[in-house]
């Protein structure tokens, strides 16, 4: 077998083994590659950073599933840290049935972390006053439209069954007029509905946190201003983590920056394999012609 | 009659909901609000139907000992267990329900999804060949975007991230916009066909 035929027929077990090594090694040998922040991530960060503290709320729609959690969960964590550090109240909702489990985990872990480091009451986050999670609701499109008229009508109780008129934060949130931005972190095409209904009909600002494969579809919406910024994939999450550390909102960079190291190594490996495959293909085709 | 009444309801509601969108009168808004609440309730009922259907499908499979029937027992047992645990012991952050979700369901789902990385790497190596001009262009664009979006792409060339971003913002956006507009026109046409009763497949059965 000629050398160029050999490099086009590498055993898949070797590919799998190398891939495993390239994923695991960066987790044990940590290194830091500076992030170059993409404009749409910077745009989303700047928008959240410009919301006056304690005034309007950030509506966080947490619609990602465990399958896409490595990409989307760090986005939710970074956004929550950013909002809490700036004293911007957060309301969480989910329209994907798999969403609440991870949403509860993200919200409680960030609240716990903030409160462990808090020195005064002002530094801490209190559930019901600074943050509320409303849980899951069926009939996504109808619920999105109805929330434009009245949020309490769609969510009369929060995720834990507490009537929302007993939660101080919800007393000052009637509909989208009280929302500075709705950010949908999603692993499916849910941002389409946020753009079509709350954004188009009620003029609410919409941001998005998406998996990398979904992001190309949403570039037109960023360009038209229908999306006020977006994070795409693990890179977007790592960029947002980098921005909140850079601006002094937290000392701890999250899991996406570490994940990006593994992802970058895999991308290099895939590129090397594609190049090898094409070199082999080129020479074998020349050999056939000769 | 079985077909005429649903078609009439569809026509009336379709036209009324379209008109009310442009009328900001309190009666119109109240009507819209009521209908939206109905839709939310209807979706919840659809969920009950789905659960019923799932139980029925797997019960038949177990009873008739069809292919892979033991997995149906796992499905039904898991569903019942999660429902009982959630209903009786709560769904709070430190509840058993949440622990099962985070420590069993989430890792299992993530593992299944992570296997894709192996298939994708192997498939990219075997299938991503510069066989034609189109394939070469695709290969070049993918190469630039992958390297440009990697954090150290900037060290290969400071212009690489900007070039990758340019590909996403212009050629990609032009194509995506065309697709979005095409899909939107298709959706409008389909919606009109359903409202006007031309498209009747949603009624089920034959003409």
pLDDT at A287: 77
pLDDT at B206: 60
Among the partner-chain residues B117, B151, B172, the one whose CB lies closest to the CB of A34 is B151
First to last CA, chain B: 13
pLDDT in tens, B8-61: 999 999 999 999 888 889 999 899 889 988 998 998 899 899 999 999 999 999
- In angstroms, rounded to a whole number, what is the distance separating the alpha carbons of residues B40 and B43? 5
What residue ranges do the domains of chain B occupy?
A: 1-89, 90-127, 132-207
Nearest chain A residue to B143, by CA? A271
Write out residues 130-189 of A within 8 Å (CB-CB) of B: 137-139, 141-143, 145-146, 149-150, 153-154, 159-160
pLDDT at B184: 94
Inter-residue contact A139 to B47 (CB < 8 Å): no
Nearest chain B residue to A266, by CA? B121
Beta bridge partners of A230: A208
Across B164-175, average pLDDT: 93
- In angstroms, rounded to a whole number, what is the distance separating the alpha carbons of residues B32 and A85? 39
Structure tokens at A257: 């920056």
Write out residues 130-149 of B within 8 Å (CB-CB) of A: 130-131, 139, 143, 146-147, 149
- In angstroms, rounded to a whole number, what is the distance separating the alpha carbons of residues B188 and B42? 23
Give the DSSP H or E segment for B132. none
Among the partner-chain residues B29, B40, B125, the one whose CB lies closest to the CB of A274 is B125
- Residue B66 has a CB neighbour count (10 Å cut-off) of 11
- In angstroms, rounded to a whole number, what is the distance separating the alpha carbons of residues A268 and A274? 10
Higher-confidence residue of B89 and B205: namely B89
Among the partner-chain residues B36, B102, B153, the one whose CB lies closest to the CB of A145 is B36
pLDDT in tens, B96-139: 999 999 999 999 999 999 999 899 999 999 988 888 999 999 99
Distance from CA of B207 to the nearest CA of A (A): 30
Distance from CA of B65 to the nearest CA of A (A): 30
B172·A216 Cβ contact <8 A: yes
In whole numbers, what is the pLDDT of chain B averaged over residues? 92
- In angstroms, rounded to a whole number, what is the distance separating the alpha carbons of residues A84 and A249? 9
pLDDT at A45: 98
pLDDT at A130: 95
Write out residues 190-229 of A within 8 Å (CB-CB) of B: 215-217, 219-220, 223
Q: How far is CA B112 from CA A286, B13, B55, B62, B123, in A?
A: 41, 43, 24, 25, 17
Nearest chain A residue to B111, by CA? A67
- In angstroms, rounded to a whole number, what is the distance separating the alpha carbons of residues A225 and A219? 10
A270·B153 Cβ contact <8 A: no
pLDDT at A116: 93
CA atoms within 13 A on the CB side of A226: 16
- In angstroms, rounded to a whole number, what is the distance separating the alpha carbons of residues A44 and A206? 10
Residue B207 has pLDDT above 70, yes or no: no
Structure tokens at A60: 């966080």
Write out residues 66-105 of A within 8 Å (CB-CB) of B: 66-70, 100-102, 104-105
Whether residue B59 lies within 8 A of chain A, CB to CB, comes out as no
pLDDT at A236: 95
Beta bridge partners of A232: A210
Which ranges in chain A belong to alpha helices (H)?
3-6, 12-28, 39-49, 69-85, 99-117, 140-149, 151-154, 168-171, 190-194, 200-202, 215-224, 233-246, 255-289
Pairing label, strands A131-136, A90-94: parallel
Q: Which residue has the tokens 């960066």?
A: A26
B101·A101 Cβ contact <8 A: yes
A11 contacts: CB under 8 Å, gap ≥ 6 = none
B152·A264 Cβ contact <8 A: yes
Dihedral sign (CA A168, A170, A176, A182): positive
Chain B residues within an 8 Å CB radius of A217 = 176, 180
Q: Which residue has the tokens 């390239």?
A: A22
Nearest chain B residue to A282, by CA? B130
ipTM: 0.87
Q: Given pLDDT bands bounded at 50, 70 and 90, which one contains residue B205?
A: low
For chain A, 290 residues long, the average pLDDT of each consecutive 10-residue run is: 86 94 88 85 97 91 95 96 96 95 96 92 92 94 93 95 95 94 96 94 95 94 95 95 94 86 91 92 82
Structure tokens at B106: 């989430």
- In angstroms, rounded to a whole number, what is the distance separating the alpha carbons of residues B79 and B95? 17
pLDDT at A88: 96
- In angstroms, rounded to a whole number, what is the distance separating the alpha carbons of residues A253 and A214? 24
Of A175, A169, A168, nearest to A154 by C-alpha is: A175
Q: 3-class DSSP state for residue A176? A: helix
């Amino acid at each position: 077998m000629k050398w160029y035929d050999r490099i086009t027929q590498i055993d898949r077990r070797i590919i799998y083994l190398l891939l495993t090594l390239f994923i695991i090694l960066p987790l044990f040998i940590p290194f830091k590659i500076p992030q170059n922040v993409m404009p749409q991530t910077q745009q989303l960060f700047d928008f959240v950073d410009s919301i006056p503290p304690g005034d309007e709320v950030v509506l966080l729609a947490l619609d990602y599933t465990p399958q896409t959690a490595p990409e989307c969960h760090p986005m939710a964590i970074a956004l929550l840290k950013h909002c809490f550090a700036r004293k911007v109240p957060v309301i969480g909702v989910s329209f994907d049935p798999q969403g609440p489990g991870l949403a509860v985990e993200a919200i409680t872990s960030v609240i716990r972390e903030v409160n462990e480091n808090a020195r005064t009451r002002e530094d801490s986050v209190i559930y019901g006053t600074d943050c509320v999670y409303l849980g899951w609701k069926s009939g996504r499109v109808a619920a999105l439209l109805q929330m434009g008229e009245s949020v309490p009508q769609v969510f009369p109780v929060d995720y834990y069954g507490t009537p929302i008129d007993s939660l101080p934060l919800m007393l000052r949130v009637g509909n989208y007029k009280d929302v500075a931005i709705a950010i949908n972190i999603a692993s499916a095409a849910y941002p389409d509905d946020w753009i079509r209904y709350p954004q188009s009909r009620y003029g609410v600002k919409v941001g998005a946190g998406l998996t990398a494969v979904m992001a190309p579809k949403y570039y037109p919406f960023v360009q038209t201003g229908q999306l006020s910024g977006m994070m795409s994939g693990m890179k977007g999450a790592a960029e947002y983590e980098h921005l909140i550390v850079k601006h002094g909102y937290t000392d701890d960079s999250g899991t996406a920056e570490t994940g990006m190291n593994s992802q970058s190594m895999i991308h290099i490996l895939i590129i090397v394999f594609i190049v090898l495959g094409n070199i082999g293909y080129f020479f074998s085709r020349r050999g056939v012609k000769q | 009659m079985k077909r005429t009444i649903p078609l009439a309801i569809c026509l009336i509601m379709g036209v009324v909901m379209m008109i009310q969108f442009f009328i900001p009168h309190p009666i119109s808004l109240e009507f819209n609000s009521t209908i939206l609440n109905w839709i939310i309730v209807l979706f919840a009922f659809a969920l009950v139907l789905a659960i019923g259907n799932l139980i029925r499908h797997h019960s038949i499979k177990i009873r008739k000992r069809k292919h892979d029937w033991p997995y149906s027992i796992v499905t039904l047992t898991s569903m019942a267990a999660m429902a009982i645990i959630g209903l009786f012991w709560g769904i709070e952050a430190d509840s058993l329900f949440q622990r099962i979700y985070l420590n069993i369901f989430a890792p299992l789902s993530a593992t299944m999804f992570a296997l894709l990385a192996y298939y994708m790497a192997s498939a990219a190596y075997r299938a991503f060949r510069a066989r034609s001009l189109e394939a070469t262009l695709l290969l070049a664009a993918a190469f630039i975007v992958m390297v440009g979006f990697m954090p150290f792409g900037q060290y290969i060339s400071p212009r690489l991230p900007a070039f990758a971003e340019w590909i996403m913002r212009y050629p990609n956006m032009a194509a995506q916009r065309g697709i979005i507009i095409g899909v939107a026109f298709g959706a409008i046409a389909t919606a009109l066909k359903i409202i006007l009763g031309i498209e009747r497949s949603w009624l089920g059965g034959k003409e």
